[in-house]
Amino acid sequence: MTGNLFIVSAPSGAGKTSLVRALLDADPKVHLSVSHTTRSPRPGEIHGRDYFFVSRETFREMEEKGEFLESAHVHGNDYGTSRKWIDDERMRGNDILLEIDWQGAAQVRKLVSGTIGIFILPPSIEALRSRLMGRGQDSLDVIERRVAAAREEMGHVDEFDYVIINDSMEEAKLDLFSVVRAERLKSAKQLAFHRELIKALI
């Protein structure tokens, strides 16, 4: 049985990373796709775990060879998802989760049928701004630019299959877990996975 391909997108500050980590910790059947990027590692990030950090030259070479399922230019840096790695993992029956922006999500949907898109929203612009300021990593000017970019990103929310409003982290986690479980329980998946059992029952 081929595994599901989930896309989780959100504006910066919506809590996407925390929700994804919670899902990965709770469900060993979900594997995170590790993207390639040209940006520098942030404190605590590890090459091969959080991202594959590569030079712009290496990224361009991979892109020209068609090695990316999707790629996007975001906030001055490039991001790309390995096509082969995802195909191999799904054929092994693993569910794969992509943390990518709406541009990458649109590219993947065109190439992979049955992709499941999940968009995370903040409860308000004020909450988004407060979360960004709470990181203590950016100046006020940068934060306002991120808020403006977030508004533009959130304009694409209707392109996704599911929408989760992250007002309460605990409720948002349950919502995300529920989406994953519901997709696995769809009849086509269950009929394929439990073919012998269903054949015996009927």
Residue ranges of the chain with pLDDT lower than 70?
136
SS3 content of the chain, % helix, strand, coil (to 5): 50, 20, 30
Phi then psi for 190, rounded to 5 degrees?
Answer: -65, -40
Q: What is the pLDDT of residue 130?
A: 86
Given a contact cutoff of 8 angstroms between Cβ atoms, the answer to whether 74 and 101 are in contact is: yes
Secondary structure (3-state) at 29: coil
Predicted TM-score of the model (pTM): 0.83
Q: What is the pLDDT of residue 48?
A: 86
β-pairing, 116-121 vs 162-165, is parallel
Please tell me the CATH code under which domain 5-33+94-201 is placed.
3.40.50.300
Token pair 């070479």: residue: 61
Name residue 167's amino acid.
Answer: D
Q: What is the pLDDT of residue 50?
A: 86
Secondary structure (3-state) at 163: strand
How far is Cα 40 from Cα 51, in angstroms, rounded to an integer? 10
Token pair 């999940």: residue: 118
How far is Cα 39 from Cα 75, in angstroms, rounded to an integer? 9
Domain regions of the chain by residue span: 5-33+94-201
Token pair 């909450």: residue: 127
Q: What is the pLDDT of residue 95?
A: 96
Q: What is the pLDDT of residue 136?
A: 66
Neighbours of 93 (CB within 10 A): 12
Q: Is the dihedral of CA 105, 106, 107, 108 positive or negative?
A: positive
Neighbours of 191 (CB within 10 A): 13
Collect all residues with Cβ–Cβ distance below 8 Å to 22 and sequence separation of at least 6: 173, 176
- The model's pLDDT over 82-138, given as tens digits with 9 standing for 90+, comes to 888 899 889 998 999 999 889 889 989 998 999 999 999 999 999 988 888 877 677
DSSP code for 90: H
DSSP code for 113: T
Q: What is the pLDDT of residue 70?
A: 87
How far is Cα 29 from Cα 64, in angstroms, rounded to an integer? 32
Secondary structure (3-state) at 78: strand
